[in-house]
Structure 1
Amino acid sequence: MSTIPGFTPHRVPVDGDVALSAAVGGSGRPIVLLHGFPQTHLMWRHVAADLAADHTVICPDLRGYGDSDKPAARSADTYSKRTMAADVVALARALGHERFALVGHDRGALVAFRAGLDHPSTITHLASLDVLPTLDMWDVLHGVDAAVAYHLYLMAQPPGLPERMIEASADAFFGSFLDAWAGDQGAVPPEVRAHYLAASRAAVPSIVADYRASAGIDVAHDRADRAAGRRLSMPVTVVQQDWGAALGYDAAALWGAWAPDLVHRTTTAGHFMAEEAPGEIVKAVRELVNR
């Protein structure tokens, strides 16, 4: 399985010579779903099929992931969330949608957050699954508790060593996150796991570049927005595991500083909640787009 059953594959130019691959299904008000790490758009297979009953659902592979193009990181901006958010807006417009709801998980949620700040007239509703905004994420990681996010520090290092280390044991590296972050190991069946590992193995330089941007240019963009008082103007729903209790921060308060119109929920599902608890995520998204 490499795409969502019943969805139509598209390949859409979005930025110069960069094109995104996307699966599109259903009809009605558009919703774009952005995947996380170490995954592809296939993580939405359950949620997308349900939402497609009354929405046009667009599930792209992000720049640098899956079947989308993976340009070399020739500047800090190549994999900035600003650039990746602009990709998503261009994709939706090319498919005929000037305004749409946007849901992101993990890395995709960081792209969605940036899209909401940079394109407020385009993003009608925004949902984030299991991340903090980039600036807040770095602020709350400290001491030995930061060991749970060792990969953030590894991939923040200058080009060369992180890529070589990960490529030397790619399946073990990416597979470790599928194992450690899952609340339900059965939610990612063997054929889907194999797809994720193959896709990630083929994308090590671009995945590292995405993470490296989050330790550099993405932080700068968030700091500039915080200093300017920019906030998310659309209704926002956040669904997270309760990491705040363990790491000593108030996730709802951190999100509330960015999103005045916020619904914040915690879940007992693991990190891969769209696959572990798709009904819960569908319910949250439907409630969001009806606000």
Structure 2
Amino acid sequence: MLFDGFALTTRTVNGVPYRFCLGGSGTLLMLLHGRPETHAMWHKVAPALAAHYTVLCPDLHPERSLAQQADDLLGLADSLGHESFILAGQDYGARVACEAAGLEPSRVKALILLESLPGPDHTGRDDMAFSLTHYESCWFGQRHPKPEANAVQIPAEWLDDPIAEDSFFSPEAVKDYLSASVWRSSTPFSWPASRLDLHCPVLVLWGEKGRMGGWYDPVLPWQEVSTGKVIGHALPGEHFLPEEVPEETLIAIQDFLNDISTRSTSSGERKPWGS
């Protein structure tokens, strides 16, 4: 059973229904999913985090702009009675998290960003070689006859029935990914033209088997757009880190939260982790 001890519910914010899992108590920790998944991607790490936090895992609305979704999430936090919170997001979810941190910097106490880079800086540095490493784009660099017709928006193994026993994807989670309507009306994504301006502590995580660490030192671009402390390191996965390497992902998040809570305690603020 996914999300043991959590409640799955829907709440309307700004006229938009948000489906989410909610569990635990304490400081609010929002976990935002990436493409092409749903909130279910966090099922291997959320229960452990809920031992010390109120953990909220919503389905995003990529048919809405980043700013609209960020405003929705701020409203969702309000409706749950939380003024301040911590945000974690993977790829697309990290972009929404950064937008929320930009809209209300005083409310977002920390950011945890998985498999993501700052937009304008990244866009100005990539080239054709980088673009052809993207999952869909690589098909268009192949020879005729039109192998791009075989490109799909999801990992091919998700279509196996049953999913291979050695897959790190949970069959229950994949069922949710394939049945949910999250991405069906999504709009093309583009970063805002303005430069990111982050002020809270930031943890950056990426897969050592993936592409990002081969093209960048991912911590450096985030340091350029943040006045807060930015740390990070690679994990022994490829891209879907909370599912591929949940233990390592959980330890990295816990260590980061312990560090920022220790520093907050020393400055006289409330300690969220382990409280």
Q: Give TM-score scaled by structure 2 length.
A: 0.79
Q: Which residue of 1 aligns with 2:48?
A: 50
Q: 1:246 to 1:265 in 2, by over 3 A?
A: closer
Identify which of 195, 218, 221 aligns with 1:254: 221
Please state if 1:142 is matched with 2:107.
no
* Cα offset, 1:82, TM superposition: 1.4
Q: State the AA in 2 paired with 1:263.
A: I
Q: Which residue of 1 aligns with 2:205?
A: 239
> Aligned partners of 2:68, 2:185: CA distance in 1, in Å?
13
* Cα offset, 1:27, TM superposition: 1.0
Q: In the alignment, is the contact (CA less than 8 A) between 1:38 and 1:177 conserved in 2?
A: no
Once superposed, what is the RMSD of the aligned Cα atoms? 2.8
* Cα offset, 1:151, TM superposition: 4.3
* Cα offset, 1:133, TM superposition: 1.9
Identity rate of aligned residues, in percent?
A: 33
Residues 142-194 of structure 1: per-residue CA shift (max 9 Å, x gap): 1233112264899xxxxxxxxxxx9x989x43234969xxxx96210333223
Q: In the alignment, is the contact (CA less than 8 A) between 1:113 and 1:133 conserved in 2?
A: no
Q: State the AA in 1 paired with 2:13.
A: V
> Aligned partners of 2:12, 2:183: CA distance in 1, in Å?
22
Q: Which residue of 2 aligns with 1:22?
A: 20
Please state if 1:283 is matched with 2:264.
no
Q: In the alignment, is the contact (CA less than 8 A) between 2:204 and 2:218 conserved in 1?
A: no
Residues 119-140 of structure 1: per-residue CA shift (max 9 Å, x gap): 1011011100011122233223
* Cα offset, 1:24, TM superposition: 0.6
Q: In the alignment, is the contact (CA less than 8 A) between 1:12 and 1:94 conserved in 2?
A: no
Q: State the AA in 2 paired with 1:235.
A: P
> Aligned partners of 1:270, 1:91: CA distance in 2, in Å?
31
What is the DSSP-based 3-state SS (H/G/I as helix, E as strand, rest coil) of the residue aligned with 2:133?
A: helix
The structure with higher relative contact order (CA 8 Å, sep 6+) is 1
Q: In the alignment, is the contact (CA less than 8 A) between 2:236 and 2:245 conserved in 1?
A: no
Q: Which residue of 1 aligns with 2:116?
A: 131
Identify which of 237, 240, 248 aligns with 1:269: 237
Moved over 4 A (4+): 150-154
Q: Which residue of 1 aligns with 2:268?
A: none
What is the DSSP-based 3-state SS (H/G/I as helix, E as strand, rest coil) of the residue aligned with 2:192?
A: helix
Query: Pairwise mapping of residues 215-234 of structure 1 onto structure 2 (< 5 A)?
Result: 215=190, 218-220=191-193, 224=194, 226=195, 231-234=197-200
- Could you list the runs of 5+ residues in structure 2 that have no partner in the other structure? 140-147, 160-164, 261-275
* Cα offset, 1:205, TM superposition: 4.1
Give the structure with the larger helix fraction: 1
Query: Pairwise mapping of residues 103-252 of structure 1 onto structure 2 (< 5 A)?
Result: 103-149=88-134, 151=136, 172-176=152-156, 186-199=167-180, 202-207=181-186, 209=187, 212=188, 214-215=189-190, 218-220=191-193, 224=194, 226=195, 231-242=197-208, 243-244=211-212, 246-247=214-215, 249-252=216-219
> Aligned partners of 2:233, 2:157: CA distance in 1, in Å?
23
Q: State the AA in 2 paired with 1:255.
A: W
Q: 1:111 to 1:151 in 2, by over 3 A?
A: farther
> Aligned partners of 1:137, 1:176: CA distance in 2, in Å?
28
- Could you list the runs of 5+ residues in structure 1 that have no partner in the other structure? 65-72, 74-78, 155-165
What is the DSSP-based 3-state SS (H/G/I as helix, E as strand, rest coil) of the residue aligned with 1:279?
A: helix
Q: Which residue of 2 aligns with 1:163?
A: none
Q: Which residue of 2 aligns with 1:8?
A: 7
Q: Give TM-score scaled by structure 1 length.
A: 0.75
Q: 1:9 to 1:152 in 2, by over 3 A?
A: farther
What is the DSSP-based 3-state SS (H/G/I as helix, E as strand, rest coil) of the residue aligned with 1:23?
A: strand
Q: In the alignment, is the contact (CA less than 8 A) between 2:207 and 2:241 conserved in 1?
A: no
Q: Which residue of 1 aligns with 2:273?
A: none
Q: In the alignment, is the contact (CA less than 8 A) between 2:24 and 2:50 conserved in 1?
A: yes
Q: In the alignment, is the contact (CA less than 8 A) between 1:46 and 1:274 conserved in 2?
A: yes
Q: In the alignment, is the contact (CA less than 8 A) between 2:36 and 2:183 conserved in 1?
A: no
What is the DSSP-based 3-state SS (H/G/I as helix, E as strand, rest coil) of the residue aligned with 1:22?
A: strand
Q: Larger Rg: 1 or 2?
A: 2
Q: In the alignment, is the contact (CA less than 8 A) between 1:38 and 1:178 conserved in 2?
A: no
* Cα offset, 1:288, TM superposition: 2.5
